[in-house]
Chain A
Amino acid sequence: MKQYIIRRLLLIVPMLIGISFIMFIIMHLAPGDPTAIKYGLNSEVSETAKLSFDKMYALDKPILVQYGMWMKRFFSMDFGISFVDGQPVMSKILSRLPATLLLQLVSLFMIFCIAIPIGMISAMKRNSLFDRVTTILVFIGYAMPGFWFALLLVYLFGFRLNWFPISGMSPWYSEYLNTFDKLKDLIWHLVLPVTATVAGSLAALSMYTRSSMIEIMSETYVLTAKAKGLTDKRVMSAHIFRNALLPIVTIAGLTLPGLISGSFIFETIFAWPGMGRLGYEAIMSYDYPVVMGVGVIAVFLTLIGIFLSDVFYAVVDPRIRVDG
């Protein structure tokens, strides 16, 4: 087991390097360049100024040399300087990360808290009214365009009813609020974005839970357990739920990159200062170092997520535990 974990961990390094290389090349293959985007049609900026900008950020060097320079910095945990505002990429990411983490963690928690019980109850009371209504509702949530639903929430609860703030994370006058009010205000600002995020994501997890429960309920060992005379509660917790949890662990592992990459659409509508907007804006302005920084972190977390769910899988499921 230990060796398995070490081997899997070591494999992450070449994968990360390979993916970062592909990302770097694809990014440079896209037509256009950072200087043109920034100063292309600005009559105040002369050609020589553009060239010296290229030189400052080594954009005049061949792609492979640029990649080498990036790699060298990367190994000392330095993602370089943003082309757009001259800030270190790391500090840009760190200033946006808390907002995304907060929104995503709260949403994820809510999704798990709502979707798993829905799935379990639906499975136990298959074809009941509850099963049908929740199935329809979660699919409506899934099928609805997210931006439309988010705007609807903003319009109804923010604008018409005035229950929640329309946008933003913390108001500009937050320095005048005490800690308690700040916290209350933050929760207030979270309600709409979390609702929008949760509504679209319930379907997958609840339906997964439901079908995996139904499958396991028909297993012979469940029948055996019941025949042994175990109570329904005991059968449910010890036999069915534990086994049904397996696919959910996989899903949970794969949500890890989503935690930090954020959602561009919701962050835009709710003016949430997160990573989704940072990444999108970086791509639109050809801010290579930021694109690479955000990208590599997302890739790293994906790889770690897959790794963790594999390890976790082995922990909860003795059948696939690898020997040696």
Chain B
Amino acid sequence: MLKLRNNFVSFRKKSLFQIAAFLFISMFSASYCEGEEWVSRDAYVYSGASDARILIPFFADDATSSSICSLIYNGLIKVDKNLNIIGDLAEGWKIADDGINITFYLRKDVFWHDGEPFTSKDVKFTFEKILDPQTVCPYISNYSDIKSIEIIDAYTIKFSYSKAYAPAILKFGMGIVPCHLFEQLKDIRGSKYARSPIGTGAYVFSEWKSGQYILLNANPDYYEHIPGIKRYVYKIVPDQSVQFLELVTGEVSSMNLNPYQFLYRSDTKRFKENINKYKYLAHAYTYIGYNQQDPFFKDKKVRQALSLAINKREIIDAVLLGLGEPCTGPFLPGTPYYDFTVSGYEYNPEKAKTLLNEAGWKDSDKDGVLEKNGVKFCVRIATNQGTQVREDVAVIVQSQWAKIGVKTEVQVVAWSAFLDQFVSKKNFQAVILGWTIPLDPDLFAVWHSQSIGENGLNFVSYVNKKVDELIELGRGELNPLKRQKIYRQIHKYLNEDAPYTFLFNPYALEAVQKRFKGIDPAPAGIGYNFIDWCVPENEVRYKFD
């Protein structure tokens, strides 16, 4: 075991109040490891392929930056293990006047990493910056319905909306930035805080070696309690097979596995003795999208038939080695919006053929390919290069459709060209792609007919007046039960119209060294309670005495 010399950085001086607050929290929170007060030790090394880009929450537009920001900053709210909204920097909130006014009551025991107290000024500043077009924040449209922001007192703040916006509360998960440091900056994106951030979060930024690692230290004054793990290291290892070797030797504490590694490479003694594997449904799905402006796919019956001809199980078993679940709609199974009564399209090639016959497609010249008015059913299915899963799906779909007499040509195109030439110009027949599933069920950006325009994300040109109405209704509906009903209805319409063949939700596969205790897999994954993880004293690998 590596023992490191004692020169751990000392943190800022604490005010009496902070010490008192800290003691108070320590006394009442039970430690997982010892059942006494929280101690912080060891280091957790997470390896990922790409470097972070920018550590300011409202500019972070890649997974790495966002996940590191979430350790350094807090939002007003967060989601718990079951994806319910709970307070973070806000102790509570009140929604009034049919969702027009939202008042947040902030915690009074939160301090910035430089010792300044956190107040409503910071909140106001953050959202005003996001809404300022000069800032060029990519997420500006999530907040564009905010009409005014009013500070009631140092710990109370009121947001007024121009109209009720149901996803609003979730959007307040955005990390709050320090007003006292950012106020004077002309260019936040280019400031030093982009690479050495100051937040309120469980971890304090320490060092960023470009292309190598990012180092964070446990925040001893964190308002919940000091995190059980003293150092968080994000280590950049671009090659996944090298990552895996580092995991087995213990240099790396945790990584994402691919299905092959998860099932077969983890079968060694060394792996089993030291590493736990976790799997939970990823917030994402893969689908086949049909261009509904294309003559082949205009007819609903054809799309339904093609969906019936897909054997999802076979695809999952082949491309994910079984590590996925078939899905029937755009929501995450297990959330209230996903309607399990929608049965989707069970594999039924006979019924598919019948439907195609009804739509006028028949194999009259007996060459194995269907025709209608002298046109053969030959279509191109496109996907992007670099995602092996999608390329494999395309090949299997090709063989499954061949069985009902549909001839398919697979096109694999580099991502940039794929977006530019195919997707944004709607110059495709069918595509295989994936969406991540956001926490809020709002579908406007992908399914509303207004999102069809150039570069719009409804690139399959799906139009259903009823779905449009329901999406608009869902955006303004604040009653959770009513909202659930609306999205379940949309799920039914999408299933009936079959604009996509919804294929599967893959499993997220993670491996973590066994010495890390307190991991509790839930619908939110495993990282949501990271500050409660800890390592028993006799298993510590890195000692900072």
Contacts and interface: CB of A to CB of B under 8 A. Distances in A.
Interface string B121-140: 00000000000010011111
Contact of A176 (B5, B53, B139, B210): B5
Contacts of A38: 61
B213 to A, nearest CB: 5
B69 to A, nearest CB: 13
Max chain B CB contacts within 10 Å: which of A39, A43, A48, A170? A43
Nearest to A160: B245
B417 A32 contact: yes
A166 interface: yes
Given A86-B189, A166-B245, A167-B242, A44 B142 contact: yes
A277 B211 contact: yes
Contacts of B2: 173
Given A36-B424, A169-B212, A53 B237 contact: no
Interface stretch (B86-94, B246-254, B464-472): B246-254
B463 interface: no
A278 B238 CA distance: 12
A271 B238 contact: yes
Given A43-B457, A47-B456, A99-B211, A32 B445 contact: no
Contacts of A274: 211
A18 B445 CA distance: 44
Contact of B133 (A52, A84, A87, A99): A52
Interface in B501-545: 542
Contact of B415 (A37, A42, A49): A37
Contacts of B140: 46, 48-49, 52
A43 B138 contact: no
A297 to B, nearest CB: 17
A321 to B, nearest CB: 45
A169 B239 CA distance: 15
A45 B308 CA distance: 34
Contact of A48 (B54, B141, B215): B141
Contacts of B239: 167, 268-269, 271
B423 interface: yes
Among B45, B61, B133, residue most surrounded by chain A Cβ atoms (within 10 Å): B61
B154 to A, nearest CB: 31
B423 A87 contact: no
B35 interface: no
B242 A269 contact: yes
A166 B139 contact: no
A81 interface: yes
B53 A85 contact: yes
Given A56-B136, A86-B59, A166-B251, A95 B245 contact: no
Given A95-B210, A154-B242, A277-B238, A41 B61 contact: no
A86 B246 CA distance: 31
A49 B53 contact: no
Contacts of A172: 43, 45, 209, 212-213, 215, 233, 235
B236 interface: yes
Contacts of B233: 172
Interface residues of B, number: 61
Nearest to A174: B209
Contacts of A182: none
Nearest to A36: B419
B389 interface: no
B387 interface: no
A286 B248 contact: no
A46 B54 CA distance: 20
A166 B246 contact: yes
A55 to B, nearest CB: 8
Contacts of A268: 238-239
Contacts of A88: 190
Contacts of B445: 43-44, 46
A33 B251 contact: no
B416 interface: yes
Given A53-B138, A86-B194, A269-B242, A92 B210 contact: yes
Contacts of B424: 36, 40
Contacts of B241: 151
A155 B59 contact: no
B210 A96 contact: yes
Nearest to A53: B136
B148 interface: no
Contacts of A92: 210
A101 to B, nearest CB: 14
Contacts of B213: 168, 172
A47 B212 CA distance: 34
A293 to B, nearest CB: 15
A245 B439 CA distance: 67
A162 interface: yes
Given A45-B139, A48-B141, A53-B138, A33 B212 contact: no
Given A96-B211, A286-B416, A154 B438 contact: no
A232 to B, nearest CB: 50
A41 B436 CA distance: 10
Contacts of B137: 49
Interface string A140-180: 00000000000100110011001001111110110110000
B210 to A, nearest CB: 4
Given A32-B416, A166-B249, A172-B215, A39 B235 contact: no
Contacts of B341: none
A31 B416 contact: yes
A33 B420 CA distance: 8
Contacts of A87: 190, 194-195
Contact of A46 (B43, B141, B215, B248): B141
15 contacts: A32-B417, A33-B416, A37-B415, A38-B61, A40-B419, A43-B435, A47-B453, A53-B138, A86-B194, A165-B251, A166-B242, A167-B239, A172-B215, A268-B239, A277-B211
Given A41-B433, A159-B249, A172-B235, 20 more contacts: A30-B417, A31-B420, A33-B416, A37-B415, A37-B416, A39-B138, A41-B423, A45-B141, A47-B453, A47-B456, A53-B136, A84-B53, A85-B53, A86-B190, A87-B194, A96-B210, A151-B242, A155-B245, A168-B213, A170-B209
